[in-house]
Amino acid sequence: MAPKRKTHGVYGAPKMGEGFSAPFTTLMLRRLPPEMTTDTLLAMLNIVTPGRFDFVYVPYDRHKLVNISLAFINFTDSGAAKEAQEFFHLLNDAHAAWNIVACAGNVQGFSFNAAYYVARFGIRAIHDAHAPVLFKNGMQLTDRMEISRLYASLPTSTLQGAKDFVKAERGGSSQRGTARRAHDLIWQPTESRLPAGPDYGWSDSHKQLRDNVKAMMPAGLAPASSVFSSPPSTRSPSSEPDGLKLSASLCSQILDEPSGVWIFSL
């Protein structure tokens, strides 16, 4: 039976593992290592999908001084979202210690995610130390006035939809934010509003690449010395950014922080 539709684009979420039937641009990461910081995640994204994301949010527990094992990333096109999803799955395939779950987020789209954050935490929270990191034309926004103007430009209907969505979440069985966003409702724009963009997805060579990563990795260690390549692309070789390929040394710089081996929380 199809999920019952609610107001302002709020839907009942599919059961865990069903996934989205429509294209998506917002990726939700679960089971992040406690040591994962926003800067570390940004470093990875800048290599895998450089310039193709505009919203990165790693919720932070101020009492425990650690992330809450979640992250939300909105990409500029659905192809980039799929590339990043496959990349994190590849990390999991490469070594048993990696256990990140990458799936379509409950909230989809840049404006929807920004509005959701304001509806949940208030407009003053947009300048918090652990507020979402925003990008425009591939460049990170750091000026407070520019960030404020961006939030102020959100459509009134989207802000109202965010309030309705948060209200619907709070009316559910769980009061915990992590459970609400992981299992309950979906809020997304119509399929036509999600930019498809170029799809560079992973071809049949994915398994071979995974096996190569496994072969290069010392037993018992996180994949700090592995070489990860971007998926085969429909672009010409001359147009492919050099940053899409990870060298062993660069991967080590990104993934070895801060202690050399990441221990993943389940």
Give tens-digit pLDDT for 182-212: 445 666 655 434 454 444 444 444 445 445 4
What local confidence, expressed as pLDDT, does residue 221 receive? Answer: 34
pLDDT in tens, the chain (266 residues): 444 434 344 443 333 334 455 789 999 999 988 878 999 999 999 999 999 999 999 999 888 888 899 999 999 999 999 999 999 888 777 666 668 999 999 999 999 999 999 999 999 999 999 999 999 999 999 999 999 999 999 999 999 999 998 888 877 544 554 444 444 566 665 543 445 444 444 444 444 544 544 454 434 334 333 333 333 333 333 333 333 333 344 344 434 433 323 322 22
Query: For residue 228, what pLDDT is reported?
Result: 39
State residue 225's pLDDT score: 31
CA dist., res. 88 & res. 36, Å (int): 14
Q: What is the pTM of this model?
A: 0.66
| Domain extent listing, the chain | 7-192
What pLDDT was estimated at residue 103? 94
Q: What pLDDT score does 232 carry?
A: 33
**C-alpha dihedral sign at 101, 104, 106, 107:** positive
Cβ atoms within 10 Å, residue 28: 20
Q: What is the pLDDT of residue 254?
A: 37
pLDDT in tens, 78-118: 999 999 999 988 877 766 666 899 999 999 999 999 999 99
**59-87: string of b/e by CB count within 10 Å (b at 16+)?**
bbeeeeebbbbbbbbbbbbbbbbbbbbbb
The top-level CATH class assigned to 7-192 is alpha beta
pLDDT at position 248 is: 40
pLDDT given at position 89 = 86
Q: From residue 216, how far is each of 212, 224, 225 by CA, in Å? A: 6, 10, 7
